[in-house]
Amino acid sequence: MKRFGPLTLFLLLVVGGGVAIGFLTAPGEWYAGLAKPPFNPPNWVFAPVWTVLYVLIAVAGWRTFERDRSSWPMKLWWAQLVLNFLWSPAFFAAHRIGLALLVILLLLAAILAFLVMSWRQSRVAAWLFAPYAAWVAFAAVLNGSIWLLN
């Protein structure tokens, strides 16, 4: 049972932080007025997708932390979390689409680096990041398309 204390903290940090940032930087009139590509998903898709991804991110972080809290994969895990939490304020609050694109590209690089660096130590942690990598790659294309259209 003692082992699951850190898991609870990871879930609270990642899911709680993601939900809080989502509420604080919720898309408003500015976002509604932007030109978007035809493959832009409906707004209701984002919350459930990110909730699932945040759980996967938290579990991967916990597994990595339990294995070696000072490892390169753990450092990359923290870096991706910071970049993840920076994207919404850059895009939705600051209305800086180009800056948000830079942040999401750095985020994708950190996710992919985590996936590669984790593969030998914990394939489970690496696989937990696979859907996250796919979604962020899609989100980067979406962000780039919105930047080009506006």
Q: What is the pLDDT of residues 83-105, one digit of tens each?
A: 999 999 999 999 999 999 999 99
The predicted structure's pLDDT at residue 121? 86
pLDDT tens digits for 30-77?
999 999 999 999 999 999 999 999 999 999 999 999 998 899 999 999
Inform me whether the pLDDT recorded for 2 exceeds 80.
no
Question: Sorting pLDDT into bands at 50, 70 and 90, what band is 1?
Answer: low
pLDDT tens digits for 102-146?
999 999 999 999 999 999 888 999 999 999 999 999 999 999 999
For 56-74, b where at least 16 C-beta lie within 10 A, e where not — what string?
Answer: bbbbbbbbbbeeeeebebb
Helix (H, G, I), strand (E, B) or coil at 103: helix
Radius of gyration of the chain (CA): 16
pTM exceeds 0.85 for this model: yes
Helix (H, G, I), strand (E, B) or coil at 114: helix
**Contact (Cβ atoms closer than 8 angstroms) between residue 69 and residue 148:** no
Helix (H, G, I), strand (E, B) or coil at 98: helix
